[in-house]
Structure 1
Amino acid sequence: MLSFRTFWYDLKQNRSMLVVATILFVFGVIAGIIWSEPLGNYLTSQLEQLRSVSNQLKQGGNVQMNYFLFIFFNNAVKSILVLLFGFFIGIIPAFFLVMNGMIIGYLLHASSLQGANVTELIVKGLLPHGIIEIPAIIIASAYGLKFGKLMLDTITTWNKSGRQRLQSERRSFLRSIIPASVWIVILLFVAAIIESTFTYWLMS
């Protein structure tokens, strides 16, 4: 049940929502770049919160371990909650994707305006762990969107054959949540290790 093959099969079954989730994330990145000025105050406050947490983590004895624990638990808890809270017709995972994309887009745009080498920032500060972390977040959100679609279809479908089909789809989806959650957490665990070691070293 928890095999990677099962997880991969479920991903293929959910590929339409993976596409939607990816589009929402990319839209968020573009929005963060294009609308950096009107959204600047809000996005800056979000980044300030992250900087505040980062400064607190640097106060401990083992800074890299502090970073690892924070990054892993923060991402893992949020991703699983986003998956489960998709129950509310997918609003929360959609918002989560767009907001994360906007923060990345805004950060890249702001760094560019300050004269930073954006290519170097992406290669050193984002890609090493982001190549695993971002897909894991998109996968979790795609499951949340699927959950939301099933709930919306349940509300709007009244014919007997349609409700029977939805009942079967819901059972199949609920069975897929456990292996999906396990593999999402594993991916985020690996990403947190990379971010707190290799990315930390590169950015230092």
Structure 2
Amino acid sequence: MFTRAGLLLAWKEIRPYFIFSIMLFFAGMVIGGNPNAPTEFLNDQVSKIASISGSIQQSDTPEMTAFLLITVNNIVASLMAMGMGIIAGLMPIYTLIANGMMVGYLLAGFSASGENVFQLVVKGLLPHGILEMSAVFLACAFGIRFGMTLIGGVFGSAFGKKEPWSPFVRTATGAVPALIVIVSLLLLGAVVESTITYWLMKS
């Protein structure tokens, strides 16, 4: 499981799904930045983010509050996307597109209001976003593969395929070290977001 050969095999099998996850996220960004984006849904998501931001601002220790809220929210969302992917991979696909739409929608809104989007991305997104989104892409990649290998196992068993559940078992085995990577990236991302990003956006 934690051997070099095992980790390399897990990455080889999950890599196409990881790339697909990135593509879904950026497709969501294009949809969210489009004038025909589903604004009612996106505005509802923005209000939830604003609520979290308000809790952080009102706290006596905003950095610690931000770290706790961001960490819990990101870990729960990632683990749900990973585990619930077993249902035909639908949950991680939704997570990727919805998150991409939110980013695209917000960036389009900031641009329309005259904000410096490049500076906003560099200061407000990239420092923590690279870590957090890498974790989300990995979690969703495993979630999608869980769904696909489960379907393959069911149909493979029905049609008498030899060892139809092997891909599913390998995915579950590879998910164990992946969970450690995902949680570590999210924790580090939360630290960066609650400190470096927080300070950069205040300056």
The TM-score with structure 1 as length reference comes to: 0.92
Alignment of 1:122-137 (within 5 A): 122-137=121-136
Partner of 1:80: 79
Question: Would the aligned equivalents of 1:28 and 1:102 in 2 still touch at CA under 8 Å?
Answer: yes
Question: Would the aligned equivalents of 1:6 and 1:179 in 2 still touch at CA under 8 Å?
Answer: no
Summarize the Cα distance change of 1:3–1:182 in structure 2 as closer, same or farther, 3 Å threshold: farther
CA distance in 1 between partners of 2:199 and 2:188 (Å)? 16
Question: Would the aligned equivalents of 2:153 and 2:168 in 1 still touch at CA under 8 Å?
Answer: no
User: Counterpart amino acid of 2:41?
Assistant: Y
Query: Offset at 1:12?
Result: 2.4
Summarize the Cα distance change of 1:66–1:19 in structure 2 as closer, same or farther, 3 Å threshold: same
Q: How many residues align?
A: 201
Q: In structure 2, list runs of 5 or more residues that go unmatched.
A: none
Summarize the Cα distance change of 1:173–1:201 in structure 2 as closer, same or farther, 3 Å threshold: same
Question: Would the aligned equivalents of 1:133 and 1:187 in 2 still touch at CA under 8 Å?
Answer: yes
Is the aligned partner of 1:25 residue 2:17? no
Query: Offset at 1:196?
Result: 0.4
Summarize the Cα distance change of 1:160–1:188 in structure 2 as closer, same or farther, 3 Å threshold: same
Partner of 1:186: 184
Question: Would the aligned equivalents of 1:2 and 1:182 in 2 still touch at CA under 8 Å?
Answer: no
Partner of 2:167: 169
Alignment of 1:7-26 (within 5 A): 7=7, 9-26=9-26
State percent identity of aligned pairs: 34
Query: Offset at 1:45?
Result: 1.4
Alignment of 1:37-116 (within 5 A): 37-116=36-115
User: Counterpart amino acid of 2:18?
Assistant: L
Query: Offset at 1:13?
Result: 2.1
Query: Offset at 1:7?
Result: 4.4
Question: Would the aligned equivalents of 1:3 and 1:179 in 2 still touch at CA under 8 Å?
Answer: no
Runs of 4 or more, structure 1, over 3 Å off, are 1-9
Is the aligned partner of 1:203 residue 2:201? yes
Q: In structure 1, list runs of 5 or more residues that go unmatched.
A: none
Summarize the Cα distance change of 1:38–1:137 in structure 2 as closer, same or farther, 3 Å threshold: closer
1:17-74: CA deviation from partner (whole Å, max 9, x where unpaired): 112111111100111111x444122211111111012112222221100000111111
User: Counterpart amino acid of 2:66?
Assistant: Y
CA distance in 2 between partners of 1:32 and 1:106 (Å)? 4
Question: Would the aligned equivalents of 1:87 and 1:147 in 2 still touch at CA under 8 Å?
Answer: yes
